[in-house]
Chains A and B, each alone.
Chain A
Amino acid sequence: MHFVSSIKGSVVVALALFAPGLPAFLASAATPREVFSGLRRFYAKTSRADGSFAPGTDRDYRGMSDSAYSDLAPVTYAVTIHQTFDWELPHKDQTIQFLLSRQRDNGDFFNQAGTVDPKSAEGRVYNTTQGLVALHALGLKPRFNPLPVFEEILQADYKTLPAYSTSFFPLAYLAYGQPIPPEADRRIRATMVQAADGYLHDHIAATFHAVHYYRLTNKPVPLADQIVARALRDQKPEGSWLLNLPSRDRHATFDAVLTLHQLGHGRADCREAIEKAVRWVLTCRNFDGGFGHFPGSTSDADANYFHTGVLVMGGFLKPVTPLPNDPHLLSWGHLMPLPVK
């Protein structure tokens, strides 16, 4: 089976090399080895001498979603993927220095490129969490205590953050080696109001972050069965959760797969849904080795992480054995241990 797929893949690659007019996507299924090879090719092309990573292989590509939002995102996601498979970063020492250099003495991590304002509450929470996650994955501590950033935002600004920000808080605290304080936990949980179907804000993104939040804090997920039921119901025939405008659902398939993976307890219908999602994700792969957010989309550092996460949770790609230290803190939970029912 893999042999046949490999031949098909080789033919497609050969066609691409000799027929430049062909689209830059791979429609056929790939083997895990081909996916690994493509990812490493993508990271080799996007790594920079200063240890950072570009959002895509084209110099003029500005990124999409997280990779357009903050120039820390491609770095954290590259670190996460490399740790997941125990790959050596192209410029590991420089990557560490890059991450350390992006922290101010008040604890804030900051972006220099990207659409988010690094001084905004949203930007501070995002960048500081991403910086902490990357450093923790590399076994390092930041130069300055980052927790005052979160303590300050938890005074009031947390109420204005997007609903997909909830699990940033316990993730950041844990990545710094501490559980989220009880009062902070209470405040964030008060914002996570679920509908009868278990969803938050009628969208899988906010719902996923609530699931992620409860899993990080080791608490049962309220209305878990209802969430699973809707996530299963919402999956589209081709395997994705592209239910809204594409710009709204760039991470939706990852979000749904993690939700089903964590809350499905191995149920057959959840497994089938995840397998279908895996097949869809493979249609998002491009000739440059990366993944676009959707079929035909430009390969992107952000899409690479989220689609690779789906492939890991779906069992298509095997992570390193044994798993890296604190696997549950690697970005958005693709290596998070499953809960005990």
Chain B
Amino acid sequence: MEKAVLFINMTSIRTTKRRGALVNADAFSRSLSPRERDGERGKELSKLRSVSSRSRVLANATASFFWSACLLTTSLGSAQDLSNKLPGWISSVAFSPDARSVASGGSDNVARIRNANTGEETAVLEGHADYVAAVAFAPEGRSLATGSYDHTVRIWDLASRQTRHVLKGHRGVVMSVAFSPDGKLLATASLDSTVKLWSTGTGRLRGTLRGHKSWVNSVVFAPNGSILVSGSSDGTIKLWDVRSRRSKATLQATDAEIRSVAISSDGKMIAAGIRYGTIKLWLNQKPLVDFKAHESDVWSITFTPDGSKLISGDGDWNKPGKVKFWDAHSGKLLGSFEHSGEVLSVACSPEGTRFAAGGWDRVLKIVPVNLRAGARSP
């Protein structure tokens, strides 16, 4: 049956606490009532819902409270008494290119945009008929792409807060989305074992990249836009030539499933977050180092903008996860941060001074980072 997910010994679930210089705001986050079914899940609303004044007040209050603790923590779950539209677990987080906003997607079928400084929720993008598994800002910052369990991808215009395109073609859950550096293409990865390329201007399918033998869980463009990198449950990473749509190289990573891939800003290093806690790095497509980085699955991995550090997030069922910082060349651990729930997604801010993490406990955290010292409370 399912492996490495559930553990008998509930006493091993740790309570949150201060750990070294790291501040953890877990004590502030509340556990929610069990998930409630969303009676409006099936509706194709395709519109942005204005945030109710009450939720805004709560968001502001929550944000200022945690900001006073020098750690911005926004509890997405604190609004459980507002309606039956409870925010769900967070599957994906992303910073806007100007670092002012953070987007998140999750099991409440919507994408949420928040002010990255205050925590105020500024937009709720509704339209997907199922969970939102992936979010990504366009390089110009005016569009957001979302991938969903409903097998579709949406490109949202953030000014009008409307869906610009609904991209249909995948036959399975869309796990990852990534804009090309020039913003003209969107890559999408799915459980249907394919990566698709779409024109962001027209919404038309530009190509389907076949070759993976199993789920494609993560996709990212190289900085020059000519190469696309995908990571799969088949244990491989594929490098695709964007122009020809053909596979240029396959990196055999592991026997286990690859959960997440990242590429450094100079395009030379590739990192993979792997099931059972391994991180593997390649330099110029040659294996550089692999190491047991986490106790459980590495759901998310990203480079800092200067490419010198890695940030990874892990999680095991019903247990607090960790965000860890690594020297990208040596694999040396530089610091870690304990999250209140398992960490399903991490993102580094464009200026490299903060990271966002979200996961199962429905709490989105934005943590200032001193990259020399790891995560810290300022």
Stretch at the interface among A39-47, A237-245, A313-321: A237-245
Name the distance in Å between B171's Cβ and chain A's nearest Cβ: 3
CB proximity of A276 to chain B, nearest CB, Å: 13
Q: CB < 8 Å: which of B10, B91, B172, B276 contacts A297?
A: B172
Interface pair A294/B173, CB less than 8 Å apart:
yes
Contact with B along A59-96 (1 / 0, CB 8 A): 01110111011000000000000000000000000000
Is A251's beta carbon under 8 Å from chain B? Answer: yes
The segment out of B76-84, B97-105, B189-197, B332-340 that lies at the interface is B189-197
Cα distance A164–B6 in the bound complex, in angstroms: 7
Whether B149 pairs with A248 at a CB distance below 8 angstroms is no
Find chain B residues with CB under 8 A from A116 CB: 3
A115 contacts B255, C-beta separation under 8 Å = yes
Expressed in whole angstroms, the Cα–Cα distance for A270 and B36 within the complex equals 18
B42 within 8 Å of A (CB atoms): yes
User: In the bound complex, what is the Cα–Cα distance between A190 and B2 (angstroms)?
Assistant: 21
Given known contacts A115-B276, A159-B9, A233-B37, is B2 in contact with A248 (CB within 8 Å)? yes
A205 partner, pick from B6, B89, B193, beta carbons under 8 A: B6
B130: shortest Cβ distance to chain A, in Å? Answer: 7
How far does the alpha carbon of A12 sit from the alpha carbon of B3 in the complex, in Å?
A: 35
**Min CB–CB distance A194 → chain B (angstroms):** 12
A234 to B88, CA, bound (A): 13
- Residues in B neighbouring A23, C-beta threshold 8 A: 171, 192
Binds B, one of A146-154, A195-203, A214-222: A195-203
A155 touches B (CB below 8 Å): no
B249 CB within 8 Å of chain A: no
Shortest distance in angstroms between A282's beta carbon and chain B's nearest beta carbon?
14
Q: Are B8 and A205 in contact (CB under 8 A)?
A: no
Given contacts A197-B34, A250-B2, contact A203 B171 (CB under 8 A): no
Q: With both chains docked as a complex, state the minimum distance between the C-beta of A178 and any C-beta of chain B, in angstroms.
A: 23
Q: Are B8 and A160 in contact (CB under 8 A)?
A: yes
In the bound complex, residues from chain A placing their C-beta under 8 Å from that of B276 are: 115
Name the B residues within 8 Å of A25 (CB-CB). Answer: 171, 192
**Residue B158 at the chain A interface, CB threshold 8 Å:** no
Q: Check A304 for interface membership: any CB of B closer than 8 A.
A: no
B:1-24 near A, CB below 8 Å: 1-10
A206 interface residue per 8 A CB criterion: yes
Q: How many residues of A contact B (CB 8 A)?
A: 57
> Which residues of chain B in 124-164 are interfacial with respect to chain A, using CB atoms and an 8 Å cutoff?
129-130, 149, 151
Interface: B234 (CB within 8 A) = yes
Q: Mark B172-210, 1 if CB is under 8 A from A, else 0.
A: 110100000000000000111100000000000000000
| Residues of B with C-beta under 8 A to A184 | none
Contacts of B34 in A (CB 8 A): 197, 202, 230
A residues in contact with B257, CB < 8 Å: 64, 68, 247
Residue of A191, A203, A234, A295 touching B317 (CB-CB under 8 A): A203
Residues of B close to A245: CB separation below 8 A? 91, 299, 344
B213 within 8 A of A: yes
Contact status A205-B234, CB under 8 Å:
no
A334 located at the interface, meaning its Cβ lies under 8 Å from any Cβ of chain B in the complex: no
Closest to A60 in B: B213
Does B171 lie within 8 Å of A201, measured CB to CB?
A: no
B255 surroundings in chain A (CB, below 8 A): 62, 68, 115
Q: Is A223 an interface residue (CB 8 A)?
A: no
Residues of B bordering A, CB below 8 Å: 1-10, 34-37, 41-42, 89, 91, 107, 129-130, 149, 151, 170-173, 175, 190-193, 213-215, 233-235, 255-257, 275-276, 297, 299, 317-318, 344
7 closest A-B pairs by CB: A296-B172, A296-B192, A296-B171, A163-B6, A164-B1, A191-B8, A61-B213
| A234-B35, A297-B192 known, 12 other contacts, Cβ within 8 Å | A23-B192, A163-B8, A164-B1, A201-B7, A209-B1, A237-B129, A244-B89, A247-B257, A247-B275, A295-B192, A296-B190, A296-B192
Name 26 interchain pairs, CB-CB below 8 A, sorted by A: A56-B213, A60-B234, A61-B234, A62-B235, A62-B255, A66-B1, A68-B257, A69-B3, A162-B8, A164-B1, A166-B8, A191-B8, A201-B318, A209-B1, A236-B130, A237-B42, A237-B129, A238-B130, A242-B173, A244-B89, A245-B91, A245-B344, A292-B172, A295-B172, A296-B170, A297-B172
